[in-house]
């Protein structure tokens, strides 16, 4: 059974925005960008589990979810047999029915846990501390925990040392050990963000660790596709990920392939 939903978080659906100007680390002007100020979720409406974590997806409701830079849930995201599914190849839908999905609340220090499985040769990702930048994709302002069919998607052989395989900090740090399960099998993921220290777990093992807002973080960006030279706006936003509040939304990626998610929880630290 598949259910499609149209949700609006809060009562305001007009897209208000804030124009931001910034300079890079060398003092050069970065092109102005706009942050959309869309409604956010009242977490008092979200239930907690026995461990005190918010249940962001319980298998039956998409309350609190909407598209990135949108007021509704894109039609390609639906509830299917208790999972949150992105349908990349649904014959009844078009590309305009897709887009990344976010939970509309800014989290700062937290433990995000979820289970995921991917279609054959599938690709997706998880974002956190993201800002909704008008006219830009979510990954311009957010680190990405990669979700991938390592055996069949070409991205697994690109990048450096496997840093585009599942569980990796995309295009920056490879997940080691690489213990991702094949397409069609469930994986368990956990992302811990605590005062800038970020840890990726995959299937019960710690696979990646890094610290935001440090010289090491800047060096990682400079060695990636998000470098100051290659992509100055992404470099500026990622180098200061989370902005002044050091917080942002959690999101899942539309990369055009089927992906399933379940048991999505966040424990605030």
Structural tokens at position 77: 């995201």
Sorted by where each starts, the structural domains of the chain and their CATH numbers stand as 2-268 (2.60.120.560)
Name the nearest CA neighbour of 147 among 129, 172, 121.
Answer: 121
Give the chain's end-to-end CA distance (angstroms, integer).
36
Name 84's bridge partners.
79, 261
Instruction: Tell me which residue of 46, 51, 168, 175 sits closest to 113, measured CA to CA.
Output: 51
Whole-angstrom CA distances from 28 to 11, 160, 213, 238 are 40, 29, 19, 16
Q: Is 43 left (phi over 0), alpha (psi -120 to 50) or beta?
A: alpha
Burial class (CB in 10 A: 0-12, 13-18, 19+), 31: exposed
Distance (Å, whole) CA 84 – CA 159: 29
Question: pLDDT, tens digit, for every residue of 131-155?
Answer: 999 999 999 999 999 999 999 999 9
CA–CA dist 155, 160 (Å, integer): 11
SS3 state of residue 117? strand
pTM for the full predicted model: 0.90
Average pLDDT for the chain: 90
Confidence of residue 89 (pLDDT cuts 50, 70, 90): confident
- In 96-202 the beta strands, taken as DSSP E runs, fall at 101-107, 110-118, 123-130, 144-148, 187-194, 197-202
Q: For 264, list phi and psi in degrees, rounded to 5.
A: -90, 115
Question: Hey, which residues does 18 pair with through a beta bridge?
Answer: 35
For the segment 222-267, what is each residue's pLDDT rounded down to a tens digit? 999 999 999 999 999 999 999 999 999 999 999 999 999 999 999 9
What is residue 261's three-state secondary structure? strand
Q: 237 — phi, psi (to 5°)?
A: -70, -40
Asked if 90 contacts 257 with a C-beta cutoff of 8 angstroms, the reply is no
Q: How far apart are CA 157 and CA 139, in angstroms?
A: 21
Residue 95: CB atoms within 10 Å: 10
Instruction: Name the residue among 17, 10, 6, 16 with its Cα closest to residue 39.
Output: 10
At 7, the pLDDT band (50, 70, 90 cuts) reads: low
- The average pLDDT across 110-119 equals 98
pLDDT of residue 230: 94
Candidates 174, 74, 191; CA nearest to 129 is 191
Give the number of other Cβ atoms within 10 Å of residue 211's Cβ: 13
Q: How many helices (H) and strands (E) does the chain have?
A: 2, 16
Summarised one tens digit per residue, pLDDT across range 167-220 is: 999 999 999 999 999 999 999 999 999 999 999 999 999 999 999 999 999 999
> What does the pLDDT read at residue 215?
97
């Amino acid at each position: 059974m598949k259910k499609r939903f149209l949700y609006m978080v809060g009562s305001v659906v007009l897209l208000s925005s804030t124009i931001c100007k910034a300079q890079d680390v060398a003092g050069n002007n970065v092109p102005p960008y706009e942050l959309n100020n869309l409604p956010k979720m009242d977490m008092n409406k979200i239930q907690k589990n026995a461990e005190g974590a918010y249940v962001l997806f319980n298998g039956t409701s998409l309350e609190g979810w909407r598209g990135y830079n949108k007021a509704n849930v894109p039609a390609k995201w639906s509830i299917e047999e208790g999972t949150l599914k992105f349908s990349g190849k649904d014959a009844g839908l078009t590309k305009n029915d897709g887009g990344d999905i976010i939970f509309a609340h800014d989290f700062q220090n937290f433990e995000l846990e979820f289970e995921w499985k991917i279609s054959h040769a599938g690709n997706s990702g998880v974002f956190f501390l993201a800002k909704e930048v008008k006219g830009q994709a979510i990954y311009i302002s957010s680190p990405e925990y990669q979700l991938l069919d390592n055996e069949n998607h070409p991205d697994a052989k690109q990048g450096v040392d496997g840093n585009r395989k599942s569980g990796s900090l995309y295009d920056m740090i490879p997940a080691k050990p690489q213990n991702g399960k094949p397409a069609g099998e469930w994986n368990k993921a956990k992302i811990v963000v605590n005062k800038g220290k970020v840890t990726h777990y995959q299937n019960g093992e710690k696979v990646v660790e890094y610290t935001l807002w440090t010289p090491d973080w800047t060096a990682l960006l400079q060695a990636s596709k998000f470098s100051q030279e290659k992509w100055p706006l992404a470099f500026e936003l990622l180098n200061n990920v989370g902005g002044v509040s050091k917080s942002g939304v959690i999101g899942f990626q539309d990369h055009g392939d089927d992906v399933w998610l379940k048991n999505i929880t966040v424990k605030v630290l």
